[in-house]
A and B are shown apart, each in its own frame.
Chain A
Amino acid sequence: MLERWDRRPPEEAYLFNAAFCGALSCEFIKAFAAKDKVGAPITLLLLALSISLHGKTRERLPKSTAASLYQWVQSNEDILIGLAQRTSALRPYVLEAIRFGVGTKALRFVGGQTLGLGEKPALYTAGKIRTETNETKRVVDQTRMTGRWFSKSGEEPFILSAFGVKP
């Protein structure tokens, strides 16, 4: 559980603030559910943000979603180092972001563990993304890419196990 806002270390608090993570969640879900899905499993959301928010990992992501998940992981095995810790460290922020998103009607549950976009999703428009830092842009882009990639990479357990994550 996260501390109260005023007790958090500001850098962490600001970098992983609920608004931002919430927006990222919206982006991921939108990219994931774009074709034929209603939403994305929280597990995959958490995994995706662990990847896109980690600089080194982010930059290793393949250029094309046509890449095979398994093969990519095998080729970049060092990705897996620390992934578990990062994921579990990010978890509270993501949960807070979900609550924040649901509270602000940006997100809604569409299943027991599945999140979908709410009435007023927080999404970056082309104009808005232009004024952000390069890194922010990158994070957003790669979150979207991850969404698309996970979407066509098979079932949730498959994706999770590819990353060595126990459900």
Chain B
Amino acid sequence: MSFSIKAIVIYGRNGEIRTITFKQSGLSIITGKSKTGKSAIIDIIDYCLGRESFNVAEGIIRQKVAWFALHIVKKDEEVFIARKNPGPGASTGSEAFLHRGRVEAYPALGTLEKNITVDALQQFVTQFAGIVENEHRPEFGTRRPLSANISHALFICFQKQNTIASQDQLFHRMNEDFLPQAMKDTLPYFLGAVDEEHFLLLNDYDELARLLRIKEMAAARTISTVGVSRTRITRLINDAKRLGMLTQDIQPDQDDIIDRLRQLSKYELDNPEYVPDFGETISALSNQEISIQKSLGQLNHDIRAAREFLSDQTEFSREASEQASRLKAMGLYKSTDHNPAVCPICESTLVNPGAAAQDINDALGAVQLHLKEVHKESPHIQEYIATIESRILDQTERLKVVQNELRHAISEDERVRAIQNQLIERARLMGRIGAFLDIFEPTFEADDIGEEIASIRDRLEAIRSRINSDDIAARMEAALNLIGKKMTEYSAMLDLEHSGSALRLDLRRLTVVADTEDGPIPLFRMGSGENWVGYHVLTHLSLHWWLRKRNRPVPAFLVFDQPTQAYYPSDIVDGDLDQIERDEDRKAVQSLFELMKNACEEIGPPFQLIVLDHAHLRNSWFEGAIVEEWRGEGALIPDNWPSISAIG
């Protein structure tokens, strides 16, 4: 369901309003002589439907019109769009006014002011026309995806004066750069080979493709992270084995290695049993050892001294005993009175008196006394020595015991230390594992992503098969086939050069082709001038027949500007058929309009065929279709309207 034109509304600079109302459906004819503004109609409609550039010819219209407006309807929705005349010389105008809703009366000139941007107007009209989210995605090449909008739809709604008679250009605006491609890109959509669901699928496809890219990047990141972390993982696993936290069979490249590491990070450390501190014991025992050794040293020193003393004594005793023994020789003498001062041999007085018996006896007495003393001492010393010896024995025993204890305590201490160290080492390893896992992306594993990616790819494939462009091509072919059939049917009503041959639309070349016995003949290779108009007319009528049949979102109007231009002399004023000289020409014109009439009856309503022409046929249906006659004083613009220069 699309919209049709209820009226064109023109505002004079004096505030007057000129309304041209069209029939909602069927043929609407504006007949008139030249220079009455007929050809501006298409430009006015185009401009009001959101065209950026203002293409109305220079002259009266530009001077005298303040605002152009269009009143369009769709079912029971009405929209009033007005655009300000940018004035003479200007090629763009940006002031647009939109009113949506029931239009009881047209707004006064004074109330018209910009309330919407041209872009927004375009978007609105596109939507109002029923053109939804759509996109032509070129399969190959560098063209960006094209979204069809109202301007593309209008390619097949207008046939300007120059175009309608052209041999080379079948469609409106196909002489402008890039537009032919745009038309080819959007026609599948407008013809319905591509439907709305298609675009939803395209959208889904895009979304999924984007998601796939993200996942693939994440997966790549994960894999590289895992790769880089292999060394770290290996080291952690080896340390864990060394500390008895993992069995030897676990390998660093196992699939579940990250799980294992997670388990390890939660490993239950043994509650450290009360660990006796051997430090103090060892210290105490060490001190004891030292003190005993000191005391032993002292004892040994004492005993040595005592023994030396004793031996000294013994030595002395021995000496003294010898001396005593020799002195005792005195006892061998029976006579002791002898005078040592005199030599008994020669009786001379000795200078030094010799030893006297008394001397010797005295000496013996002294020595023997000494000996007695020493002998008295000796037992004490002996006893003392014996005591010390026994104490030395005691201490040596004690020392052995202490040293034994010490060795034992040290080895216990070392054993316990090793256990403690292992505990500490395990705790540290758990810390390292935890730190590693934190950095390592604990939230998902490579496998999950792999599955996700596979699933996305599956979905993409499913969508792709539904988007299958072959399908579209086939549908296009079918559509064009049917359109071609209609074109052929219509051609039978016109006396065309190749009437009878099958006609078809060649979208690649954007032209009509007649499949004759001699081969396909495109429009640009067909003969005389009047035929071409016929092809234009029948083609567009066929297209609109199809569009209305399939309820496509193309506006439900078609405007032909001067289709009979080739037949009427240029200076014609009267539109009567009899103005035309040649018989064939008259017939041609008659056939043309009859085709149009028939087509309008056939094409499902609402379909608006607006024809702007010289001709004024005297058929009742023709006259019934006339909405404006611009002969004599009549024209698009009332005479009395002031021009812009008049207002100043």
Chain A: residues with CB nearer than 8 A to chain B?
1-6, 10-11, 13-20, 22-23, 26, 96, 98-100, 102-106, 109, 120, 122-124, 128, 131-133, 135-136
Name B339's closest neighbour in chain A (CB-CB).
A103
In the complex, chain A residues whose CB is within 8 Å of the CB of B360: 17-19
| CB of B349, distance to nearest CB on chain A (Å) | 12
Closest 6 CB pairs of A and B: A103-B338, A122-B332, A14-B323, A20-B329, A20-B326, A120-B334
Q: How far is the CA of A23 from the CA of B338 in the complex (A)?
A: 16
Q: How far is the CA of A96 from the CA of B360 in the complex (A)?
A: 13
The answer to whether B328 and A104 have CB atoms under 8 Å apart is no
Given A96-B355, A99-B344, A103-B338, A14-B329 contact (CB < 8 Å): no
The answer to whether A15 and B322 have CB atoms under 8 Å apart is yes
In the complex, chain A residues whose CB is within 8 Å of the CB of B367: 14
The answer to whether A19 and B356 have CB atoms under 8 Å apart is no
Name A96's closest neighbour in chain B (CB-CB).
B354
In the complex, chain B residues whose CB is within 8 Å of the CB of A96: 354-355
In the complex, chain A residues whose CB is within 8 Å of the CB of B352: 1-4
| Bitwise interface map of B from 330 to 357 toward A, beta carbon under 8 Å scored 1, else 0 | 1111111011100111000011111111
Please name 24 pairs of A and B residues whose Cβ atoms are closer than 8 Å in the assembled complex, sorted by A: A4-B353, A5-B355, A6-B359, A13-B355, A14-B323, A15-B322, A15-B323, A17-B360, A18-B355, A19-B326, A19-B333, A19-B355, A19-B360, A20-B329, A23-B329, A104-B333, A104-B357, A106-B332, A122-B332, A128-B332, A133-B322, A135-B322, A136-B325, A136-B326
Give the most central of A16, A22, A98, A104: most B CB within 10 Å: A104
The answer to whether B322 and A128 have CB atoms under 8 Å apart is no
The answer to whether B355 and A135 have CB atoms under 8 Å apart is no
| CB of B231, distance to nearest CB on chain A (Å) | 89
| Bitwise interface map of B from 299 to 323 toward A, beta carbon under 8 Å scored 1, else 0 | 0000000000000000000010111
Given A15-B326, A17-B326, A5-B359 contact (CB < 8 Å): yes
In the complex, chain A residues whose CB is within 8 Å of the CB of B363: 10, 13-14, 17
The answer to whether B338 and A100 have CB atoms under 8 Å apart is yes
B327 close to A (CB within 8 Å): yes
The answer to whether A102 and B345 have CB atoms under 8 Å apart is yes
The answer to whether A133 and B325 have CB atoms under 8 Å apart is yes
The answer to whether B335 and A135 have CB atoms under 8 Å apart is no
Which chain B residues (419-462) contact chain A, with CB distance < 8 Å? none
Instruction: List 6 additional A-B contacts (Cβ < 8 Å) besides A20-B327, A99-B350.
Output: A2-B354, A19-B330, A23-B332, A104-B338, A105-B335, A106-B332
Choose among B333, B345, B354 the residue that contacts A109 (Cβ–Cβ < 8 A): B345
The answer to whether B329 and A19 have CB atoms under 8 Å apart is yes
In the complex, chain A residues whose CB is within 8 Å of the CB of B357: 19, 104
In the complex, chain B residues whose CB is within 8 Å of the CB of A23: 329, 332
The answer to whether A22 and B329 have CB atoms under 8 Å apart is yes
Given A17-B363, A19-B332, A124-B332, A100-B355 contact (CB < 8 Å): yes
Q: How far is the CA of A11 from the CA of B367 in the complex (A)?
A: 10
In the complex, chain A residues whose CB is within 8 Å of the CB of B319: 11
Given A15-B322, A19-B327, A20-B327, A99-B335 contact (CB < 8 Å): no
Q: How far is the CA of A105 from the CA of B323 in the complex (A)?
A: 24
| CB of B322, distance to nearest CB on chain A (Å) | 6
| CB of A25, distance to nearest CB on chain B (Å) | 11
Q: How far is the CA of A10 from the CA of B357 in the complex (A)?
A: 15
Q: How far is the CA of A99 from the CA of B351 in the complex (A)?
A: 14
In the complex, chain A residues whose CB is within 8 Å of the CB of B331: 128
Q: How far is the CA of A96 from the CA of B363 in the complex (A)?
A: 17
| CB of B340, distance to nearest CB on chain A (Å) | 7
In the complex, chain B residues whose CB is within 8 Å of the CB of A6: 359
Q: How far is the CA of A18 from the CA of B339 in the complex (A)?
A: 13
In the complex, chain A residues whose CB is within 8 Å of the CB of B359: 5-6
The answer to whether B345 and A99 have CB atoms under 8 Å apart is yes
In the complex, chain A residues whose CB is within 8 Å of the CB of B328: 131-132
| CB of A142, distance to nearest CB on chain B (Å) | 15
The answer to whether B354 and A99 have CB atoms under 8 Å apart is yes
Choose among B327, B336, B339 the residue that contacts A17 (Cβ–Cβ < 8 A): B327
Name B326's closest neighbour in chain A (CB-CB).
A20
| CB of A4, distance to nearest CB on chain B (Å) | 5
Q: How far is the CA of A6 from the CA of B343 in the complex (A)?
A: 19
| CB of B324, distance to nearest CB on chain A (Å) | 8
| CB of B289, distance to nearest CB on chain A (Å) | 48
In the complex, chain B residues whose CB is within 8 Å of the CB of A100: 338, 340, 354-355
Name A121's closest neighbour in chain B (CB-CB).
B332
Give the most central of A10, A18, A128: most B CB within 10 Å: A18
The answer to whether B325 and A123 have CB atoms under 8 Å apart is no
| CB of A9, distance to nearest CB on chain B (Å) | 12
In the complex, chain A residues whose CB is within 8 Å of the CB of B338: 100, 103-104
The answer to whether B329 and A122 have CB atoms under 8 Å apart is yes
Q: How far is the CA of A87 from the CA of B384 in the complex (A)?
A: 45
The answer to whether B351 and A1 have CB atoms under 8 Å apart is yes
The answer to whether A106 and B325 have CB atoms under 8 Å apart is no
In the complex, chain B residues whose CB is within 8 Å of the CB of A11: 319, 323
| CB of A95, distance to nearest CB on chain B (Å) | 9
Name B320's closest neighbour in chain A (CB-CB).
A14
Name B337's closest neighbour in chain A (CB-CB).
A104
| CB of B368, distance to nearest CB on chain A (Å) | 11
In the complex, chain A residues whose CB is within 8 Å of the CB of B335: 104-106, 120
The answer to whether B329 and A135 have CB atoms under 8 Å apart is no
Choose among B322, B326, B334, B344 the residue that contacts A102 (Cβ–Cβ < 8 A): B344
Q: How far is the CA of A136 from the CA of B339 in the complex (A)?
A: 27
The answer to whether B336 and A104 have CB atoms under 8 Å apart is yes
| CB of A141, distance to nearest CB on chain B (Å) | 14
Q: How far is the CA of A164 from the CA of B343 in the complex (A)?
A: 30
In the complex, chain B residues whose CB is within 8 Å of the CB of A120: 333-335
Name A23's closest neighbour in chain B (CB-CB).
B329
Which chain B residues (345-401) contact chain A, with CB distance < 8 Å? 345, 350-357, 359-360, 363, 367
The answer to whether A122 and B333 have CB atoms under 8 Å apart is yes
| CB of B362, distance to nearest CB on chain A (Å) | 9
